Amino acid sequence: MDATDPIRRAIVCTGNSHKVEELALLLDDFVLEPLAAGTKLPPEIGATFLDNARIKAYAGQELHPGSWVIADDSGLSVDALDGAPGVHSARFAGDDATDATNTDLLLQRLDGYAETQLRTARFICVLVAIAPDGTEYLGEGTVEGHIALERSGDAGFGYDPVFIPTGETQSFAELGAEVKARMSHRARAARALSERILQPA
């Protein structure tokens, strides 16, 4: 199997089932498989999204030598918070953080920043794919927006209920999976990754 094969199986190196679902809608050239339940990935100690995506991808490659592996690292960068929560997005509210406690803390930290232009933010995603021959491919994507004053919507995960993409009036959690598959940071990173795999430099 190489980069010219039409259908490739790939192991997605994440414990987050939402990411596997979103990536499955985005990466048409792959049949995606989750890591076996309970697989432990190393701690995400990198300083950048790329570092952390690589940590997960190479850990997956060790577990599944000879397979394509794909890892994503992503997060939210809020201008008023100097880029936080950034690479700490999943654990913003501490080691036992949940989507709910992370979002509560974010809204609390932005208390006093009432106007939209003071609440600007972006989601960032870096995807790393490693081919069976060890070739590494990267894709990065961002989506600009702002943090709403309160939650709305039930779809998605993480900070989706409070993230309003630029040009929209509803949150990602209201806009839903189809809109996210078109314009999210993960969608853009997936398109960039696919282009690199199909047309390597």
Give the C-alpha separation, 92 to 77, whole Å.
Answer: 12
29: annotated active-site residue: no
Instruction: Work out whether 73 is an interface residue with ligand IMP (CB under 6 A).
Output: yes
Report helix, strand and coil shares of the chain as percent, to nearest 5. Answer: 40, 25, 40
| Residue span binding ligand IMP (CB under 6 A) among the ranges 5-13, 72-80, 126-134, 190-198 | 72-80
Question: Among 72, 73, 96, 99, which one carries the catalytic annotation?
Answer: 73
Query: Is position 123 an interface residue for ligand IMP (rule: CB under 6 A)?
Result: yes
| 157, 168, 170, 181: residue in contact with ligand IMP (rule CB under 6 A) | 157
Binding mask 167-196 for ligand IMP (x = CB under 6 A): -----------------x-x----------
Residue 35 backbone phi and psi in degrees, to 5: -65, 150
| Residue nearest ligand IMP by beta-carbon distance | 158
CB of 7 to ligand IMP, least distance (A): 26
Q: Which of 46, 47, 57 is nearest to 14 (CA)?
A: 57
As a whole number of angstroms, the distance between CA 171 and CA 176 comes to 9
- Residues touching ligand IMP: how many (CB under 6 A)? 17
Length of the chain: 201
- C-alpha to C-alpha distance for 86 and 198, rounded to whole angstroms: 30
DSSP strand pairing (120-130 vs 136-147): antiparallel
58 near ligand IMP (CB under 6 A): no
Tell me if 113 contacts ligand IMP by CB under 6 A.
no
Residues forming the site for ligand IMP (CB under 6 A): 16, 44, 73-76, 89-90, 102, 123, 156-160, 184, 186
